[in-house]
């Protein structure tokens, strides 16, 4: 297996579209790296450049420490699985999986062995004689993955491979691809716009926005310590609450003032925040850190606020409360069995040990 490294990579389309800029990214041997970001942020372009399907304007790509800028796609020893599966319609599942090996003139016996092995791993042995039109979306997806596996490539690239599947199958395939990674011990680079897919599958996640890499880290680190407001808002669902305001007070007594809401800032944050007194800031708190009918644990850094209930969304295991507090709209998630009424005024406890503060202009995290 292999390492993949991108150094200062840039790709433009025409004069105006900078699809990828100043990209530095290292993918470790056997790592499951997920590239995530909104539609159009440059994820597929990054993948296609690694595969050798797209030339870059600047920078270098290394596979196993060797520059591959001028190595054609077929010689990079990389297999790519596409969103639309790209199976040949006139070939059976077996022939689709065998095709790449046949082109490379592998002996018949070796091809048969590898296809059967891959089919076994993916539980598609009984579909091998069927053509794609006789396969469901999930089965076609497995054949496409099987076609990549049989080649035993150095690196697997997945471009939104689950987005054509229904929600239930997506969840199932997510688990299967994670298990497959553990079994193959392969280097995988996986592109998705779905933050849940990224969180559940990635060993590390690279968040991309407008062609620029924002942050690379393990899923829970990204969730707990986002580097900026974009990452904070992109990772997690429902999304983090953001309240605009300013820091007031003096060095030993700071308050975040939203205009109507006032939140006393715990002493832990004073050192980092006191230099921003008077500046416009954004306060961030995830829905699960706004507690309703849930007493604060001793020693917890908390603040109390009142809010009016705007919408109640029961999800089964939890309920999302949409609230109006001061001038702001907030979402809290609660597991309380007694739910408030629409329009009711309720008291909430904010867990400030989980609070984030962002510079309004740069959107960088200040803690």
**Residue 235 C-beta: closest distance to ligand ATP, Å:** 16
**Which stretch in 33-41, 254-262, 339-347, 349-357 sits in contact with ligand ATP by CB under 6 A?**
33-41
Burial tier of 109 (Cβ tally within 10 Å: 0-12, 13-18, 19+):
exposed
What are the DSSP calls for 135-194, one per residue?
S-HHHHHHHHHHHHHTT--SEEEEESTTTTS-HHHHHHHHHHHHHHHHHHT-EEEEEES-
Minimal distance, residue 49 CB to ligand ATP, in Å: 9
Residue corresponding to tokens 């969730």: 223
Q: Which uninterrupted H or E stretch holds 199? A: helix 195-201
Q: Quick one: 323 exposed, middle or buried, by C-beta within 10 A (0-12, 13-18, 19+)?
A: buried
Q: Quick check: 84 binds ligand ATP (CB under 6 A)?
A: no
> For residues 209 and 117, what is the distance between their CA atoms, to the nearest angstrom?
39
Query: Which is it for strands 78-81 and 155-159: parallel, antiparallel or unpaired?
Result: parallel
Q: Does 36 bind ligand ATP (CB under 6 A)?
A: no
Per-residue contact flags (x/-) with ligand ATP for residues 185 to 224, judged by CB under 6 A: --------x-------------------------------
Nearer to ligand ATP, 193 or 329 (CB): 193
CA dist., res. 62 & res. 73, Å (int): 13
The verdict on 364 binding ligand ATP (CB under 6 A) reads no
Rule CB under 6 A: is residue 41 a binding residue for ligand ATP?
yes
Quick one: how far is CA 51 from the chain centroid?
Answer: 21
Residue number with CB closer to ligand ATP (17 or 182): 17
**Which residue from 138, 232, 217 is spatially nearest to 177, judged by alpha carbons?**
138
Query: What track of x and - describes contact with ligand ATP for positions 134 through 173 (by CB under 6 A)?
Result: ----------------------------------------
With contacts defined by CB under 6 A, name the span among 35-43, 141-149, 179-187, 344-352 that binds ligand ATP.
35-43
Nearest approach, Cβ of residue 76 and ligand ATP (Å)? 19
What residue ranges bind ligand ATP (CB under 6 A)?
A: 13, 17, 19, 37, 39-45, 193
């Amino acid at each position: 297996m292999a390492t993949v490294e991108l150094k200062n990579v840039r790709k433009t389309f025409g004069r105006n579209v900078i699809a990828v800029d100043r990209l530095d990214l290292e993918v470790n041997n056997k790592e499951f790296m997920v590239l995530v970001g909104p539609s159009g942020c440059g994820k597929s372009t990054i993948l296609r450049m690694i595969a050798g399907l797209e030339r870059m304007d600047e920078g270098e790509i290394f596979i196993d420490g060797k520059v591959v800028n001028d190595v054609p796609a077929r010689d990079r020893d990389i297999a790519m699985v596409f969103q639309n599966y790209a199976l040949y319609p006139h070939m059976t599942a077996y022939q689709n999986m065998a095709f790449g090996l046949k082109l490379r003139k592998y002996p018949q016996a070796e091809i048969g062995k590898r296809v059967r092995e891959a089919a076994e791993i993916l539980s598609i042995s009984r579909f091998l004689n069927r053509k794609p039109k006789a396969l469901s979306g999930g089965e076609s997806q497995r054949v496409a993955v099987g076609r990549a596996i049989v080649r035993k490539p150095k690196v697997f690239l997945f471009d939104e491979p689950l987005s054509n599947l229904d929600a239930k199958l997506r969840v199932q395939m997510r688990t299967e691809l994670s298990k497959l990674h553990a079994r193959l011990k392969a280097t995988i680079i996986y592109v998705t716009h779905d933050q849940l897919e990224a969180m559940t599958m990635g060993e590390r996640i690279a968040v991309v926005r407008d062609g620029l890499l924002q942050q690379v880290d393990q899923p829970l680190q990204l969730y707990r310590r986002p580097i900026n407001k974009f990452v904070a808002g992109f990772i997690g669902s429902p999304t983090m609450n953001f309240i605009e305001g300013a820091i007031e007070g003096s060095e030993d007594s700071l308050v975040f003032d939203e205009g109507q809401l006032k939140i006393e800032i715990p002493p832990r944050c004073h050192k980092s925040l006191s230099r921003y007194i008077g500046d416009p800031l954004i306060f961030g708190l995830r829905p699960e850190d706004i507690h309703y009918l849930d007493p604060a644990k001793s020693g917890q850094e908390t603040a109390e606020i009142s809010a009016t209930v705007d919408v109640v969304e029961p999800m089964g295991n939890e309920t999302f409360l949409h609230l109006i507090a001061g001038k702001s709209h907030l979402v809290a998630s609660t597991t309380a069995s007694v739910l408030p009424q629409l329009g009711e005024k309720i008291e909430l406890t904010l867990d400030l040990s989980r609070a984030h503060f962002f510079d309004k202009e740069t959107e960088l995290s200040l803690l």
